[in-house]
Amino acid sequence: MLPLTPTTLNGDDDTMIARNLASIRARIAQALAGAGRAAGDVTLVAVSKTNDAAAVAAAMAAGQTVFGENRVQEAAEKFPRTGATLHIIGGLQSNKVRAALGLADCIETLDRPSLADAIDKAGAATGRVPDLLVQVNIGDEPQKSGVGLGQADGFIRAMRARFGARLVGLMCIPPAFGDSGPYFRRLAAMADTHGLAVRSMGMSGDFEAAILAGATHIRVGSAIFGQRRSSDVT
């Protein structure tokens, strides 16, 4: 039987989250050192999707401040929280953009012109546009979101022209199986080409390879909060 995500936390779960965070932080430090990069060069985005507000509170008590959620509705139930920064990391429907702008400090999944239109419009109405990352479908997989490799350069340029400094970087989810390293290096090279500082790449299973390839943000869920019921990564 798969372990289930608890709906409420007991002391043991709090301890587990704190212990997992300490272990991830140590592994990040080691990977940075191994890559010859400065300590603190990577931001850990704790992916709290499917975990409840108590789990977020436990992570915050253990010093975690940056969180990732993939559904706006679910995020709204846990955020905003004082002292927390929220990244939207899941595919975003245009009709959820206004709500997303009210919650998020960063939207990592800008991947089509119609979403850019919705962000522009909601940003004008709310007076606030968060940091934006273009999601690149780095393995050109038909089932995955993200702008395809053939369109990526043109789309990134268009988003740069449209959002200026609000466009801060790129995000990718490489193919689920095999070595992620080549995909991470490709995303980093693409970010370099466009002069974009942020590279959000690497999850529980491959964040060290991402750090080696130049990730500035890693998105780690299950290694902090425990296994989810379904994988839910697109």
Ligand X SMILES: *Cc1c(COP(=O)(O)O)cnc(C)c1O
Q: Which parts of this chain interact with ligand X (CB under 6 A)?
A: 47, 49, 70, 89-90, 173, 203-205, 219-223, 232-233
Query: Least distance to ligand X from the beta carbon of 110, Å?
Result: 13
Locate tokens 């300590």: which residue? Answer: 39
Which lies closer to ligand X via its Cβ, residue 133 or residue 191?
Answer: 133
Q: Do residues 172 and 183 lie in contact, with contact meaning Cβ atoms separated by under 8 Å? A: yes
Euclidean distance between CA atoms 212 and 182, whole angstroms:
11
In the complex, the smallest distance separating the C-beta of residue 127 from ligand X, rounded to whole angstroms, is 28
Q: Measuring CA to CA, which residue among 124, 120, 121, 126 is closest to residue 158?
A: 120
Q: Which is nearer to ligand X, 191 or 201 (CB)?
A: 201
HSE-up (13 A, CA, CB side) for residue 81: 22
CB of 13 to ligand X, least distance (A): 16
CB of 83 to ligand X, least distance (A): 22
Q: Smaller CB distance to ligand X: residue 65 or 126?
A: 65
Nearer to ligand X by Cβ, of 9 and 124: the residue is 9
Task: Give the residue nearest to ligand X (CB).
Answer: 221
C-beta of residue 70 within 8 angstroms of C-beta of residue 89: yes
Q: Which is nearer to ligand X, 48 or 190 (CB)?
A: 48
Q: Give least dist CB 164 to ligand X, A.
A: 25
Reported as half-sphere exposure (CB side, CA atoms, 13 A), residue 91 has a value of 13
Q: To 5 degrees, how large is the angle CA 125–CA 131–CA 136?
A: 115
For 68-71, the CB contacts below 8 A with 24+ separation are 68/108, 68/219, 68/221, 70/232
